[in-house]
A and B are shown apart, each in its own frame.
Chain A
Amino acid sequence: GESVGLHLPTLSVQEGDNSIINCAYSNSASDYFIWYKQESGKGPQFIIDIRSNMDKRQGQRVTVLLNKTVKHLSLQIAATQPGDSAVYFCAELLISNFGNEKLTFGTGTRLTIIP
């Protein structure tokens, strides 16, 4: 069936360096792709999203890239800080013709920032 998955379960990055977290998806009909951050003991937190008709979107220190040709999504975090250490989930939102809006989460990547 359709699924969202991540290439790397863990990633360690030196503080101040840039990090890239990758995600593969299989449902080309998804309307939005979203990144969430989950810190230990907390619920996921929305970071940034991108519509399926876009290929790049930038936020504060974060950039999401969407490559629909290879069904690949990435999150780039610039100048990483210790507070960026968390598990990052990609998710896809599919809006059906009946108005059903379902968010499906990937398995997550643990990002560790090394001081």
Chain B
Amino acid sequence: DAGVIQSPRHEVTEMGQEVTLRCKPISGHDYLFWYRQTMMRGLELLIYFNNNVPIDDSGMPEDRFSAKMPNASFSTLKIQPSEPRDSAVYFCASSFPGLPNEQFFGPGTRLTVL
């Protein structure tokens, strides 16, 4: 099992550009989570999906952030336009049905917005 796959691993962009982060969850997992980690705010839940349906997006910072899950094996987190304060490590995680507490995290995408 390859685990949760995220791409790219590193992204450097300029303020105002669009950024798209990608995630492939573990096969058979029906929960998918997007987190953001910074030194100042720690690990924050942005949004999560259950069976491809967004359940809670209350953690999404603002309208510049959007997430989609078109099918069970793929999700994207998009930031448009990006700002320097969006610089962080973004993690995707997935979990088995009925076990949202045991989440399997991907390696993360380190985003730097200049």
Please tell me if the beta carbons of B101 and A102 are within 8 angstroms of each other in the complex.
Answer: no
Per a CB cutoff under 8 Å, which of A34, A101, A105 touches B43? A105
Beta-carbon contacts under 8 Å, B87-109 to A = 91, 93, 100-108
Cβ of A42: which chain B residues have Cβ within 8 Å of it? 105, 107-108
Chain B, Cβ-Cβ closest to A32: B101
Please tell me if the beta carbons of A105 and B105 are within 8 angstroms of each other in the complex.
Answer: no
Please tell me if the beta carbons of A93 and B107 are within 8 angstroms of each other in the complex.
Answer: no
- Could you say which interface size class chain A belongs to? 20 to 34
Per a CB cutoff under 8 Å, which of A34, A45, A106 touches B105? A45
Which of A34, A43, A45, A102 has the largest count of B CB atoms less than 10 A from its CB?
Answer: A43
Q: Give the distance to chain A from B25, nearest Cβ to Cβ, in Å.
A: 13
* Contact A49 B101, CB 8 Å, known A42-B107, A100-B55, A100-B56: yes
* Contact A44 B91, CB 8 Å, known A89-B43, A100-B56, A108-B42: yes
Cβ of B55: which chain A residues have Cβ within 8 Å of it? 99-101
Q: Is B45 an interface residue (CB 8 A)?
A: yes
Please tell me if the beta carbons of A93 and B105 are within 8 angstroms of each other in the complex.
Answer: no
Q: Give the distance to chain A from B33, nearest Cβ to Cβ, in Å.
A: 8
Bound Cα distance from A108 to B41, whole angstroms: 11
Bound Cα distance from A99 to B42, whole angstroms: 25
Q: Give the distance to chain A from B78, nearest Cβ to Cβ, in Å.
A: 20
Please tell me if the beta carbons of A43 and B45 are within 8 angstroms of each other in the complex.
Answer: no
Per a CB cutoff under 8 Å, which of B4, B45, B91, B104 touches A103? B45
- Closest CB pairs A-B (n = 9): A43-B105, A105-B43, A101-B100, A32-B101, A93-B101, A46-B102, A107-B42, A44-B105, A43-B91
The residues of B with any CB-CB pair to A shorter than 8 Å are 4, 31, 33, 42-45, 48, 55-56, 91, 93, 100-108
Query: Can you list 28 A-B contacts (CB < 8 A)?
Result: A34-B101, A34-B102, A41-B107, A43-B93, A43-B105, A43-B108, A44-B43, A44-B91, A44-B93, A44-B103, A45-B105, A46-B102, A46-B103, A46-B104, A49-B101, A89-B43, A93-B100, A99-B55, A101-B31, A102-B45, A102-B48, A102-B56, A103-B33, A104-B45, A105-B43, A105-B44, A107-B42, A108-B42
